Structure 1
Amino acid sequence: MGAKETTTETDVLVIGAGPGGYVAAIRAAQHGLDVTLVEKEAYGGVCLNHGCIPSKAYISATDLAHDAGQAAEMGILVDPAIDMAKMQEWKSNSISRLTDTVEKLCKANGVSLIEGMASFVDETEVHVTRDEDNRDRVSIGFERCIISTGSRPVQIPGFDFTDDEVWSSRDALSAATVPDRLVVVGAGYIGMELSTVFAKLGSDVTVIEMLDDALPGYEDDITRVVRKRASELGIDFRFGEGASEWRGIDNGIEVVTETEDGERSVYPTDKVLVAVGRQPVTETLDLEQIGLEPTEQGFLETDRHARTDVEHVFAVGDVAGEPMLAHTASKEGIVAADVAAGKPSTMDNRTIPAAVFTDPEIGTVGLTAAEAESEGFDPIVGTFPFRASSRALTTGETEGFVRIVADGECGTVLGAQIVGAEASELVAEVALAIELDATVEELASTVHTHPTLAEAVMEAAENARDRAIHTLNR
């Protein structure tokens, strides 16, 4: 059969339907623009299908089972059994509902959807290949383009994701069975989240990390809380070691590591999960056709309006660099769509929160005290421990604290670091405070429902003014 090619035109072309792309497409359509969204695999992108959503589904399920099994102190005596096939089915059904919703929302807003892989022909046209033989192709002319092609797991030498014994995060989240032993390479947020999941599923987990601590980039008193809980779950940390190779043995495989001094260690395991980061996906786009060159790390540089060096081409999400977070991608998508429609819009990274869904969770936003000082502030700090929270005591989750950082001169909230139960939810209040240039006085004077974990934010703000009621002011 001969090749099939169709031609179409659009005001705004969006490449990639992840949390940056589909949000950008819907917002651009809401502005009255003709929008075409191209996706090569699944609506919702990696986040919805293979990352954020499935991992949080597993975290919720394993937390429920683990907490029930540890609730003897509350008078609850159970020994939960986990049906992995049923858990997979539940997770997959949840994802299907969400992907269907994304597709329906796009169509309801008038976005044209095309499945396939897009590559640039020139600055105003792309070809979308819809089959492996390049015989079914769509040519799309566009006025503005938003690139949202996302990222993929970084692969390290000697550990090929095509090997059954080597898992990427995607492989781990689709596992049909739980390995008795699991080696995790990388103690960043993905490695730590999945280590916790599999430890609660019953795996004997060993974490290999080249650096000297888990969760690089977070302050030590925060990581210490998470690391302590992980150790209590039986997770064994091996810091200062890098994975060099794996090899088969009679009963599974073994992972070989090496220190900077050349000292080698061997860890027997059934599977090895490599979670050392993610890298942007740009190689399929033929960017040279529009004169756009990625950085050495493969990212597309953008300004505060999400524009690349090619004025009518925007980039959002992981492909545009740090912070590589789904909610950042969505906000960038909105900014790009607004600007593409001629509306004023800019990114402000100071109010973007970050969360790690470990046990307990981490939530951060804005500046740490050290960062505030380096930027010329004279910061004041307020802290409230969850062990002093009545609500935390009634849930049995008393580890961690809330810390608020503010400008000592005018009291404006500059940042927060939270480690503890529901930290990912609690940090939103502080993000709003920063967005509105609120002060610790205003945060503290806002009446919070009792008893709630959110009261810890209020008390931390009070502590910054030496006026906390339920903890000592020091």
Structure 2
Amino acid sequence: MNSYDVAVIGSGPGGYVAAIRCAQLGMKTAIIEKYSTLGGTCLNVGCIPSKALLDSSHHYEDAVKHFEEHGIEIPGDIKVNLEKMIARKQAVVDQTIGGVDFLMKKNNIDVYQGLGSFKDATHITISGDETTEIEAKNTIIATGSKPSSLPFINIDKERVITSTEALKLKEIPKHLIVIGGGVIGLELGQVYKRLGADVSVVEFMDRIIPTMDAGLSKELNKVLKKQKFKINASHKVKSVERVGDEVIVKADNKKGEEVEFKGDYCLVSVGRRPYTDGLNAEAAGVKLNDRGQVEVNDHLQTSASNIYAIGDVIKGAMLAHKAEEEGVFVAETLAGQKPHVDYNLIPGVVYTWPEVAAVGKTEEQLKEAGIEYKKGQFPMRALGRSRASMDLDGFVKVLADKTTDEILGVHMVGARAADMIAEAVVAMEYRASAEDVSRMSHAHPTFTEAIKEAALAATDDRALHM
């Protein structure tokens, strides 16, 4: 029987990063993956493939709607080859998975393919083509999450689908009904809207992206409506029925009236649930809470002292980069170091176009906590860079402590917001004030000038270009 210092169950961003860091710190490491490829949801059926399709569909939309204005003339009709687009997406996925395979070999990490199941706290059975058992002094559970559904919905994976199937459709929907106005539903909804589908979003809460700052939700709602999305907030879905090639969704609006939506595809995007199926956690003395999450303490240690858990399978935002930070945290803890993760400074991003990004506290959270704050906001359309690229929608908002001027939150909608948010994370990591950021030189012309201007606006309303 092979023995290891650390075994990692699950090879998503949290799991494979944890394994690499453990190996770097001199621990003999194994990683166990249920599926035939490494990378978990993110690399195989999540972050990477969805961004590939978002980029491809964005190119198509630009060609159809904007090239002529840029002085680019293309003779003949511009057509979508969906099969080729999906194939390119898969090529990106395959290349990325190959990169993870390389990193496992480079760091001398043993890879086991099969379902990892606890026999006890130090022994794991791996059921694949053949059954293997390994011994591990410490184990990191990184088994991730799966798409959630509603109890009355039958997901047939043909017409009533999850994000997994939405990444490999054989045709462009005529009318895609998206149940859930969160990150995944809006991103995939935008892919198919650009390619020609009608898209109706049905959201239970009173606004889309309900966990983010209300200002971001309002701005994105305005932009998506301009793009001809049909947004139906405060709608409680009560039935989803497939009749042949048609899907009928019935919901009650906020007045209690029944509303019916008919489409040829329905994407169920109501969040994700922790995935612990087959883990046999109880055999190792690992407790789960009533939401199916693995219970951990501040050191990400489970009720079994030698077993840790990270990523989507524990509490907190289900984000790949959160899982990565936690993976490094556990590895360094096992090595006797004193790492830390500041959950307030883990950014959130929606990869629609314009992109949405945020870090720190929302206005709603600051009000609820009774913290006095000041706000500086700057519109993207006031930037020369935005006018040059025709990306005029959105804004940057900086929230700072009213007394100390320390930045408490940064929220933005706009082109390249996903990349720009890193500046805010760095500033807040070093506890910068709004004035600190306002006095930094930002290259001109860039989108990031909006951050400087918003910081100026938060500092005695000193924005220069507004």
TM-score, length-scaled by structure 1? 0.93
Question: 1:68: which partner in 2?
Answer: 63
SS state at 2:13 partner: coil
| Aligned match for 2:47, one of 52, 75, 89 | 52
Q: What SS does the aligned partner of 1:314 have?
A: strand
Pair 1:247-2:251 in alignment: no
Measured after TM superposition, the shift of residue 249 of structure 1 is 3.9
- The equivalences for 1:137-176 within 5 A come to 137-176=131-170
Q: How does 1:12-31 map to 2 (within 5 A)?
A: 12-31=6-25
Q: What is the RMSD computed on CA atoms of the aligned residues?
A: 1.7
SS at match of 1:21: helix
User: 1:273 aligns to what?
Assistant: 267
Shift of the 443–311 alpha-carbon distance from structure 1 to 2, 3 Å rule, reads same
Inter-partner Cα distance in structure 2 for 1:219 and 1:443: 21
Deviation at 1:335, TM superposition (A): 0.2
Residues 260 and 370 of structure 1: CA distance in aligned 2, closer, same or farther (over 3 Å): closer
Structure 2 distance, partners of 1:181, 1:467, is 46
For residue 467 of structure 1, report the CA deviation from its aligned partner: 5.6
Query: Which residue of structure 2 lines up, in the alignment, with residue 217 of structure 1?
Result: 211
SS, match of residue 88 in structure 1:
helix
CA contact 1:305–1:347 (8 Å) conserved in 2: no
User: Which residue in 1 is equivalent to 2:440?
Assistant: 446
Q: In the TM superposition, what is the alpha-carbon distance from 1:110 to its structure 2 partner?
A: 1.1
Deviation at 1:361, TM superposition (A): 1.0
Amino acid at match of 1:406: A
Aligned to 1:117, which of 109, 115, 118? Answer: 115
Equivalent residue number for residue 290 of structure 1: 284
1:8–1:138 contact (8 Å) kept in structure 2: no
Aligned counterpart, 2:181: 187
> Is 2:250–2:258's contact at 8 Å kept on the other side of the alignment?
yes
Letter in 2 for 1:196: Q
Alignment of 1:245-394 (within 5 A): 245-249=239-243, 252-259=246-253, 263-375=257-369, 377-394=371-388
What amino acid sits opposite 1:300 in the alignment?
V
Shift of 1:370: 3.9
User: How far did residue 255 of structure 1 move?
Assistant: 2.2
CA distance in 2 between counterparts of 1:112 and 1:434 reads 38
CA deviation vs aligned residue, 1:377-411 (integer Å, no higher than 9, x gap) = 43222111111111111111111111111222222
Does residue 10 of the first structure (1) align with residue 8 of the second (2)?
A: no
8 Å contact from structure 1 (residues 226, 359) kept in 2? no
Letter in 2 for 1:358: T
SS of corresponding position for 1:309: coil
Instruction: With the length of structure 2 as denominator, give the TM-score of the two structures.
Output: 0.95
Q: Which range moves more in the overlay, 217-226 or 315-324?
A: 217-226
1:261 deviation in Å? 6.2
Whether the 8 Å CA contact 1:193–1:358 is kept in 2: the answer is yes
Letter in 2 for 1:109: N
In structure 2, relative to structure 1, the CA distance for the partners of 1:374 and 1:232 (3 Å cut) is closer
Aligned counterpart for 2:193 among listed residues 193, 199, 224: 199
Question: 2:465 aligns to what SS in structure 1?
Answer: coil
Shift of 1:257: 2.4
User: Which is further off, 153-162 or 326-335?
Assistant: 153-162
Q: Does 1:431 align with 2:420?
A: no
Other-structure match for 1:3: none
- CA deviations 1:73-110 (Å, max 9, x no partner) are 33344553211011111111111000010011011011
**Which moves more between the two structures, 305-314 or 122-131?**
305-314
Deviates more, 1:158-167 or 1:289-298: 158-167
User: Does the aligned pair in 1 maintain the 2:160–2:242 contact within 8 Å?
Assistant: no
Q: Distance in 2 between matches of 1:59 and 1:137?
A: 40
Structure-2 residue corresponding to 1:32:
26
| 2:103 paired residue among 92, 102, 105 | 105
In the alignment of these two chains, the number of paired residues is 462
Q: Give the match for residue 178 of structure 1.
A: 172
Query: 2:5 is paired with a residue of what secondary structure?
Result: strand
Query: 1:399-458 CA deviation, whole Å, 9 max, x = no partner?
Result: 111111122222222210011111111111010111111222221111111100011111
State how far apart, in whole Å, the 2-side matches of 1:216 and 1:369 are. Answer: 13
Q: Mean Cα displacement is larger for which, 457-466 or 236-245?
A: 236-245
- The DSSP-based 3-state class of the residue aligned with 2:138 is strand
SS of 2:11's equivalent in the other structure is coil
SS at match of 2:456: helix
CA shift, 1:469, in A, is 4.5
Question: How far apart are the structure 2 equivalents of 1:282 and 1:117?
Answer: 11
Shift of the alpha carbon at 1:258? Answer: 3.3
Separation in 1 of the partners of 2:233 and 2:146? 25
Distance in 1 (alpha carbons) for counterparts of 2:272 and 2:364: 28
Q: Percent identical across equivalent pairs?
A: 34
Deviation at 1:346, TM superposition (A): 2.2
Tell me which residue corresponds to 1:126: 124
**Alpha-carbon distance between aligned partners in 1 of 2:258 and 2:119, rounded to the nearest angstrom:** 50
CA deviation digits over 1:153-179, x for unaligned, max 9? 002233222352211000001112111
Q: 1:31 and 1:156 mapped to 2: Cα distance?
A: 43
Q: Report deviation, 1:305.
A: 2.2
Q: Secondary structure at the match of 1:144?
A: strand
